[in-house]
């Protein structure tokens, strides 16, 4: 199945444009919510061997604050908004109107704020895709986690690896202009994602 | 720690998702890093000084013959691990087993539900080991935090560290 996904994706620039549109929409949503202009550093759409996945987040033992969302409907998949803890705390200070350096732990209020941020970002991405294709994609409630990168990724990978040995991902790195905040936005769709009909967007296979 | 990275004179070999590391080199340390719902299976023959570490991701493989990554599944990982250890001189009845992982990182998943992959992995690994008549000497399972584990080939010591507790001998 993974070979089909790779082949089909590489041959369709329309998918590339569609996903980049979704990502731009998501980062715009993040900027609006946090009140700072986030910029996309890079967007990589590729197939990654399972063992290399934790390196995307700094290695399997790196501590990560992750906002995890699943989506279902016309297709299924996983979304992870991930930050090193110090960047997550910096975002929380912005969201909660604190002086910089105030937030140092994830209390209930912090988790709620981060969850809403993940919700906005994930929903903006899914809406852009769904609107373009004329399909429905439903996000789950967000879950906020602070743990090793490998442990957090296990949640998505245990499902994806039941279907195939490699992981198809959309990896977006973003930052604010002064680089005081950075983050990763990972989309890990199931194989059915690439089978979504492109006709409503005006494109074709 | 990264695969192949030297720590003093030691070389750390990482078993990634669905992978196994086997060694009889006393300078080697085998590891599973960042285990969530996955389970690390540490196996060691103290006489032959042969060790193995398997990084199990899922409980059961329905078609072992067609599977490219048999270590991904509990029921096939144990078989592969034994074969690879025996190739290096290990004897099954001497093998000491220690296991860690099987966490439920998202605490809102109902216990014992099909979505609780950690619990299903715990049960499947134990069943696979029992099928091969391998006893578990010690374990650090479940909870809702990530773990890493290391097996030192020169001593047979297995250590585990979690997000919520410092490194300790298992």
What is the per-residue pLDDT for A205? Answer: 44
Residue A124 predicted with pLDDT over 90: yes
Residue A6 predicted with pLDDT over 60: no
Query: Looking at the domain assignment, is residue A172 inside a domain?
Result: yes
Query: Looking at the domain assignment, is residue B1 inside a domain?
Result: no
**C-alpha dist (Å) from residue B117 to A46, A68, A162, B123:** 26, 16, 11, 10
Look up residue B131 and give its two tokens.
């099928």
**C-alpha dist (Å) from residue B18 to A158, A173, B51, B81:** 10, 27, 17, 12
Segment A9-22 shows an average pLDDT of: 74
Which residue range(s) make up the domain with A41?
A: 2-200
How far apart CA B32 and CA B52 sit, in angstroms, is 11
pTM for the model stands at 0.91
Which residue range(s) make up the domain with B141?
A: 6-169
pLDDT per 10-residue tile (average), chain B, 170 residues: 58 96 98 98 98 96 78 95 98 98 92 88 98 98 97 98 95
Query: Looking at the domain assignment, is residue B146 inside a domain?
Result: yes
- Per-residue 3-state assignment (H helix, E strand, C coil) for chain A: CHHHHHHHHHCCHHHHHHHHHHHHHHHHHHHHHHCCCEEEEEEEEEEEEHHHHHHHHCCCCCEEEEEEEEEEECCCEEEEEEECHHHHHHHHHHHHCCCCCCCCCCCHHHHHHHHHHHHHHHHHHHHHHHHHHCCCEEECCCEEEEEEHHHHHHHHHHHHCCCCCEEEEEEEEEEECCCCCEEEEEEEECHHHHHCCCHHHCCCC
Percent of chain A topping pLDDT 70: 90
Complex ipTM over 0.95:
no
Residue A7 predicted with pLDDT over 50: no
Residue A9 predicted with pLDDT over 80: no
What is the per-residue pLDDT for B114? Answer: 82
User: With bands split at pLDDT 50, 70 and 90, how would you rate the model's confidence at A69?
Assistant: very high
What is the per-residue pLDDT for A140? Answer: 95
What is the per-residue pLDDT for B6? Answer: 52
Query: Looking at the domain assignment, is residue A8 inside a domain?
Result: yes
Residue A77 predicted with pLDDT over 60: yes
Per-residue pLDDT reduced to its tens digit, A165-182: 888 899 999 998 777 889
Q: Does B68 touch chain A (CB under 8 A)?
A: yes
**Helix, strand, coil shares, percent, chain A, to 5:** 45, 30, 25
Q: Tell me, what CATH number does A44's domain have?
A: 3.40.1550.10
Average pLDDT, chain A: 87
Segment A146-158 shows an average pLDDT of: 96
Query: Looking at the domain assignment, is residue B148 inside a domain?
Result: yes
Query: Looking at the domain assignment, is residue A175 inside a domain?
Result: yes
Query: Looking at the domain assignment, is residue B16 inside a domain?
Result: yes
The verdict on a CB contact (< 8 Å) between A60 and B33 is: yes
Per-residue pLDDT reduced to its tens digit, B28-46: 999 999 999 999 999 999 9
How far apart CA A124 and CA B7 sit, in angstroms, is 45
Residue pointed to by tokens 């373009």: A132
CB B113 within 8 A of CB B104: no
Nearest to B68 among A146, A147, A165 (CB): A165
Smallest Cα distance from B145 to chain A, Å: 7
The CA-based angle B139-B143-B144, given to 5 degrees, is 135
Q: Which of B4, B5, B36, B54 to mutate to test the interface with A (most CBs of A within 10 A)?
A: B36
Residue A3 predicted with pLDDT over 60: no
Query: Looking at the domain assignment, is residue A205 inside a domain?
Result: no
Q: What are phi and psi of A192, to 5 degrees?
A: -65, -15
Residue A186 predicted with pLDDT over 90: yes
Q: Does B119 touch chain A (CB under 8 A)?
A: no
Query: Looking at the domain assignment, is residue A140 inside a domain?
Result: yes
Number of domains making up chain B = 1
Q: Tell me, what CATH number does B22's domain have?
A: 3.30.1330.200
Segment A46-69 shows an average pLDDT of: 94
How far apart CA A194 and CA B2 sit, in angstroms, is 33
Segment A41-51 shows an average pLDDT of: 89
What is the per-residue pLDDT for B67? Answer: 74
Number of domains making up chain A = 1
């Amino acid at each position: 199945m993974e070979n089909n996904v790779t082949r089909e994706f590489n041959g369709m620039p329309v998918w590339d444009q569609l996903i980049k549109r979704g990502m731009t929409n998501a980062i715009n949503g993040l900027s609006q919510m946090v009140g700072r202009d986030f910029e996309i550093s890079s967007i990589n759409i590729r197939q990654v061997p399972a063992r290399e996945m934790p390196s995307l987040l700094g290695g399997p033992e790196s501590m990560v604050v992750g906002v995890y969302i699943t989506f279902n409907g016309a297709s299924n998949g996983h979304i992870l908004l991930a930050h090193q803890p110090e960047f997550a705390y910096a975002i929380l200070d912005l969201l909660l109107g604190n002086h910089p350096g105030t937030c140092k732990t994830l209390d209930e209020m912090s988790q709620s704020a981060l969850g809403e941020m993940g919700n906005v970002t994930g929903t903006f991405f899914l809406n852009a895709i769904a609107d373009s294709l004329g399909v429905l994609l439903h996000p789950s409630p967000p879950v906020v986690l602070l743990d090793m990168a490998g442990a957090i990724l296990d949640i998505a990978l245990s499902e994806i690896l039941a279907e195939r040995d490699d992981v198809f991902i959309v990896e977006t790195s973003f930052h604010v202009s002064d680089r005081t905040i950075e983050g990763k936005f990972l989309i890990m769709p199931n194989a059915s994602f690439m089978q979504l009909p492109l006709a409503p967007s005006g494109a074709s296979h | 720690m990264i695969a192949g990275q030297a720590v003093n004179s030691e070389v750390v070999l990482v078993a990634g998702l669905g992978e196994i590391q086997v060694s009889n080199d006393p300078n080697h340390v085998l590891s599973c890093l960042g285990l969530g719902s996955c389970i690390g299976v540490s196996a060691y023959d103290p006489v032959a000084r042969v060790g193995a570490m398997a990084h199990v991701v899922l409980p059961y493989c329905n078609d072992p013959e067609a599977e490219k990554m048999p270590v991904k599944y509990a029921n096939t990982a144990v078989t592969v691990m034994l074969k690879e250890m025996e190739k290096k001189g290990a004897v099954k009845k001497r093998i000491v087993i220690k296991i860690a992982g099987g966490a439920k990182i998202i605490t809102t998943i109902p216990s014992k539900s099909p979505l609780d992959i950690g619990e299903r992995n715990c049960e499947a690994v134990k069943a696979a080991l029992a099928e091969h008549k391998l006893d578990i000497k010690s374990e650090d399972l479940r909870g809702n935090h990530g773990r890493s584990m290391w097996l030192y080939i020169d001593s047979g010591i297995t250590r585990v560290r979690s997000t919520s507790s410092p490194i300790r001998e298992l």
